[in-house]
């Protein structure tokens, strides 16, 4: 029995699957038939067998359109065309319709539904010839009945319009869809490329900030012979591992691994004023962190005072604010020519602001070189990385204020 | 209005996937039929002024719909153009309905509403699915209303007209909804494939630089270990010199790592750097916000990539894209895409959708190609 079924299945003709347009044509044809049927059937005249035949034809057409959703095999299209011609004649035959009659529109709609078979046209001469044959059948019937019953050219014109539109759709819609899909593919690629570049730049910037704030500062100190450092500070600074939680370029892309210890708590692990201070902290409020940073940087006559309260911040944001503020303190100590910095913390709603001000020599922010790592990467980009912002307010001779702002939420 | 593809950037453009050429052609065919039946006394009715006026209004409506679907029409003008079309359509429909008698004028009304239905597609080419469905429904109700004002009201034809005008809109919406999942799947698949391929490419590109930086880092660690072993004794001149040299080297490597810009790097990743030239200071490119960057890159890539079975976007010959980013007043940047051989009228809706998400574009065409110019709000970094 199983062998019989297999043998029969082997003899079954290979069905050509309907594409998207052919399936749309099936839906369109069905809706046209249904609309005409709803309008024409209640006012249809003729003997009872006409009604029965019309019902049967509608059923056959419904089945054909349903089948067309799966395959557009050529006999199916022939049955649809013949069925539609027969139905149009039954529902609104020549004896009932005239050019000025309202039946004309419904009849034209039915006969126009034959144009949906044009959506199954393929790029081969056999398919073109067969579709042309179906068109000849429909147009031949329309012209013949129009001449025979002396009807006007309205139905013929509507039919031409329907077929032209369907052929145009068949010709251009696949390309329009291809172009749309191609645009989507290009956009997907652009989104992916942008995401990769963003993540890698972010990771590289983190590495650069880390190296700038710790390693490069240590190297500069060594290059100056370690001047100004007490022996115990010197040892703790260059002790093995004090600088490295990872090597450069080894961090996972776009993460904040550098700012989080293994137990998930943030750790203040940064150099300040040439000194690296390893200070685990469980505090999550901005003031405590900034006061700790102020203590790190207050040395050799340089002092940092912290005022105000800013409440708590998420660990990564807190670390970024503390690091950016620390970098501002370092810059002030190095370049401002002032021996004092004030740090003012305030909170307005969810926004935490940190102002780092000195009364030093100031500078023109517009003249800041593009390759300046200290401000660009260690302050501005660091804040931007956690969704915050940094503004630099400075005038030569009138000091510098850096405004760091971030939302607590 | 809700978006058709909320997760797909720029997917609101051209939601019907129909060629604009087809819609324009179909509309003109229907307008011709409408004009013949109105003016040519095709169905026995006598031509009058209202018929001529209705035909003229239909033509104005066609022009408005043509403008509403044109990719170069600024988006801010679209609501006015749509309103203009609606006004002409309603006026024309009412005037045509007034000409309907018990014996004539019905065909003219039928063609009028069919033309209106075709123009709904054209008007909605740059709208989203909800806008399209809303306008389709409004068109159906209006068409039935026109019929209700005729002496033939009550014969059931109004229902047929309502169906005829509702069907295309309904089918269009079904078509869009039907392939929506396919679109989303395809976008997700393309994104995943692109991420994998581009990540591999990026790994290959960055490996040399990472190795170099790792080597420097290793040397620095060794230096620090030696410094720590010195126990605070005065450092030797050799160690200080080595520290100076390593600091210079590290600084140079960091500079090299930050010498590129995100746009060029993305284009290099996508393999499009040979046909695109970016002229911009890194500072200016950095000012473009993260939210604007995907659209900026998408526009550049859409202009560079060839369309299926055809030449590059809107052109008849392969060309190059020059991207200029210049400072402008009020924290704005002026972005210009200069494309050789570009015909802006043949650019796809997706491109304009992305351009408009950056700002209102201006287009200059010349025999050598075209320039797309857009002002982008990009605040200074500090």
Contacts of B326 (CB under 8 A, 6+ apart): B280, B284, B333, B334, B336
H or E segment and range at residue A50: helix A48-68
User: What does the pLDDT look like over B165-208, one tens digit per residue?
Assistant: 667 777 777 767 767 777 778 788 888 888 888 888 888 777 77
Give me the residue spans of the domains in chain B.
Answer: 20-186, 199-257, 262-377
Smallest Cβ–Cβ distance between B247 and the set A190, A223, A250 belongs to A223
Give the separation between CA A42 and CA A45, rounded to whole angstroms.
9
Strand ranges for B201-242 from DSSP E: none
Give the separation between CA A99 and CA B107, rounded to whole angstroms.
9
Query: B78-98 and B49-69 helices cross at what angle (nearest 10)?
Result: 160
What confidence category does residue A272 fall into, taking pLDDT thresholds of 50, 70 and 90? very low
Q: Return the pLDDT at A130.
A: 93
For domain B262-377, the CATH architecture is 2-Layer Sandwich (3.30)
Cα torsion for B242, B248, B250, B253, to the nearest 10°? Answer: -140
What confidence category does residue A283 fall into, taking pLDDT thresholds of 50, 70 and 90? low
Flag if B152 and A211 touch (Cβ within 8 Å).
no
Q: Return the pLDDT at B124.
A: 85
CA distance B80 to chain A (A): 27
Domains and CATH numbers, chain A: 15-152 (no CATH), 196-407 (3.30.565.10)
Range in A239-253, B118-132, B362-376 the model is least confident about: A239-253
Residue that is written with structure tokens 């209006």 in the block: B142
Give the separation between CA A208 and CA A28, rounded to whole angstroms.
62
CA distance A158 to chain B (A): 8
| pLDDT for residue A7 is more than 70 | no
Q: How many residues in total does chain B contain?
A: 382
Flag if B194 and A102 touch (Cβ within 8 Å).
no
Of A95 and B230, which is predicted with more confidence? Answer: B230
User: What does the pLDDT look like over A76-95, one tens digit per residue?
Assistant: 999 999 999 998 888 777 56
DSSP-assigned states of every residue in A171-183: HHHHHHHHHHHHH
Smallest Cβ–Cβ distance between B187 and the set A158, A188, A250 belongs to A188
B282 contacts in chain A (CB < 8 Å): 370
Q: Is B291 on the interface with A (CB under 8 A)?
A: no
User: What does the pLDDT look like over B305-332, one tens digit per residue?
Assistant: 866 555 555 554 556 889 999 988 878 8
Flag if B8 and A208 touch (Cβ within 8 Å).
no
For chain B, what is the mean pLDDT? 78
Give the separation between CA B324 and CA B373, rounded to whole angstroms.
9
Please list the residues that pair with B339 across neighbouring strands: B321, B370
User: What does the pLDDT look like over B149-174, one tens digit per residue?
Assistant: 877 666 556 666 666 666 777 777 77
Residues 29-58 (B) with a CB less than 8 A from some CB of A = 29-30, 33, 42-44
Give the separation between CA B217 and CA B132, rounded to whole angstroms.
60
Smallest Cβ–Cβ distance between B22 and the set A168, A184, A220 belongs to A168
Complex confidence, ipTM: 0.74
What confidence category does residue B98 fall into, taking pLDDT thresholds of 50, 70 and 90? confident
Contacts of B193 (CB under 8 A, 6+ apart): none
Of A269 and A105, which is predicted with more confidence? Answer: A105
CA distance B340 to chain A (A): 20
Range in A308-322, B41-55, B74-88, B219-233 the model is least confident about: B41-55
Give the separation between CA B12 and CA B327, rounded to whole angstroms.
30
CA distance A4 to chain B (A): 38
What confidence category does residue A241 fall into, taking pLDDT thresholds of 50, 70 and 90? low
Of A265 and B263, which is predicted with more confidence? Answer: B263
pTM above 0.80, yes or no: no
Q: Return the pLDDT at B34.
A: 85
* A129 phi, psi to nearest 5 deg: -65, -40
What confidence category does residue A344 fall into, taking pLDDT thresholds of 50, 70 and 90? confident
Average pLDDT over residues A43-52: 80
A32 contacts in chain B (CB < 8 Å): 167
CA distance B100 to chain A (A): 11
């Amino acid at each position: 029995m199983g062998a019989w079924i297999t043998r029969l299945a082997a003899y079954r003709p290979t069905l050509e699957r309907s594409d998207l347009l052919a399936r749309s044509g099936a839906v369109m044809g069905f809706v046209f038939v249904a609309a005409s049927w709803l309008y024409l059937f209640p006012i249809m005249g003729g003997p009872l067998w006409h009604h029965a035949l019309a019902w049967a034809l509608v059923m056959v057409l419904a089945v054909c359109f349903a089948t067309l959703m799966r395959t557009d095999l050529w006999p199916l299209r022939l049955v649809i065309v013949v069925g539609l011609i027969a139905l149009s004649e039954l529902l609104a035959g020549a004896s009932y319709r005239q050019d000025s009659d309202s039946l004309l529109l419904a009849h034209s709609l039915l006969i126009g539904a034959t144009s949906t078979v044009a959506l199954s046209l393929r790029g081969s001469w056999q398919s073109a010839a067969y579709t042309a044959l179906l068109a000849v059948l429909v147009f031949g019937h329309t012209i013949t009945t129009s001449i025979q019953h002396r009807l006007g050219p309205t139905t013929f014109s509507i039919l031409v319009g329907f077929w032209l539109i369907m052929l145009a759709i068949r010709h251009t819609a696949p390309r329009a869809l291809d172009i749309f899909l191609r645009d989507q593919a290009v956009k997907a690629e652009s989104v992916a490329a942008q995401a990769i570049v963003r993540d890698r730049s972010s990771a590289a910037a983190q590495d650069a900030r880390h190296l700038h704030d710790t390693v490069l500062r240590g190297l500069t100190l060594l290059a100056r012979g370690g001047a100004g450092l007490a022996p115990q500070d010197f040892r703790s600074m260059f002790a093995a591992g004090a600088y490295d939680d990872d090597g450069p370029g080894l961090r996972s892309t776009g993460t904040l691994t550098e700012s989080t210890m293994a137990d998930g708590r943030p750790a203040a692990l940064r150099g300040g004023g040439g000194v690296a201070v390893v200070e685990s902290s469980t505090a999550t409020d901005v003031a405590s962190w900034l006061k700790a940073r102020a203590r790190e940087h207050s040395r050799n006559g340089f002092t940092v005072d912290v005022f105000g309260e800013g409440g708590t911040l998420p660990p990564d944001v807190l670390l970024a604010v503390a690091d950016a503020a620390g970098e501002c303190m370092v810059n002030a100590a190095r370049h401002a020519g002032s021996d004092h910095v004030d740090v003012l913390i305030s909170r307005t709603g969810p926004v935490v602001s940190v102002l780092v001000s000195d009364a030093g020599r100031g500078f023109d922010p517009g003249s800041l070189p593009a390759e300046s790592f200290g401000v660009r990467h260690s302050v501005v980009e660091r804040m931007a990385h956690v969704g915050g912002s940094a503004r630099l307010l400075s005038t030569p001779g009138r000091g510098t204020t850096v405004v760091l702002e971030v939302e607590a939420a | 209005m809700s978006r058709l593809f909320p997760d797909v950037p720029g997917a609101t453009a051209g939601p019907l996937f129909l060629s604009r050429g087809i819609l324009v052609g179909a509309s003109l065919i229907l307008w011709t039929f409408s004009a013949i039946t109105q003016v040519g006394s095709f169905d026995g009715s006598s031509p009058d002024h209202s018929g001529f006026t209705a035909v003229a209004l239909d033509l104005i409506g066609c022009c408005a719909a043509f403008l509403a679907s044109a990719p170069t029409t600024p988006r801010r003008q679209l609501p006015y153009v749509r309103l203009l079309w609606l006004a002409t359509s309603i006026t024309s429909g009412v005037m045509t309905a007034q000409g309907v008698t018990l014996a004539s004028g019905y065909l003219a009304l039928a063609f009028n509403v069919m033309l209106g239905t075709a123009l709904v597609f054209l008007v909605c080419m740059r709208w989203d699915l909800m806008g399209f469905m809303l306008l389709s429904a409004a068109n159906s109700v209006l068409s039935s209303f026109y019929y209700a004002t005729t002496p033939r009201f009550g014969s059931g034809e109004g229902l047929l007209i309502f169906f005829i005008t509702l069907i295309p809109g309904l089918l269009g919406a079904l078509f869009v909804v039907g392939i929506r999942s396919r679109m989303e799947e395809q976008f997700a698949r393309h994104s995943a494939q692109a991420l994998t391929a581009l990540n591999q490419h990026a790994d290959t590109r960055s490996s040399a630089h990472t190795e170099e930086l790792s080597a420097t880092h290793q040397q620095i660690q060794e230096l620090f270990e030696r410094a720590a072993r010195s126990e605070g004794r005065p450092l030797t001149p050799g160690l200080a010199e080595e520290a100076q040299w390593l600091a210079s080297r590290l600084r140079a490597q960091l500079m090299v790592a930050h010498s590129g810009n995100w746009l060029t790097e993305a284009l290099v990743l996508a393999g499009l750097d040979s046909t695109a030239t970016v002229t911009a200071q890194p500072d200016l490119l950095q000012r473009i916000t993260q939210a604007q960057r995907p659209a900026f890159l998408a526009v550049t890539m859409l202009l560079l990539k060839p369309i299926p079975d055809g030449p590059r976007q809107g052109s008849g010959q392969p060309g190059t894209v020059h991207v200029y980013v210049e400072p402008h007043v009020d924290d704005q940047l002026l972005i210009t895409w200069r494309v050789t051989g570009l015909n802006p009228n043949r650019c796809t809706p997706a491109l304009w959708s992305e351009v408009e998400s950056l700002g209102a574009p201006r287009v200059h065409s010349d025999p050598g190609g075209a320039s797309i110019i857009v002002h982008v709000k990009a605040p200074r970094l500090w």
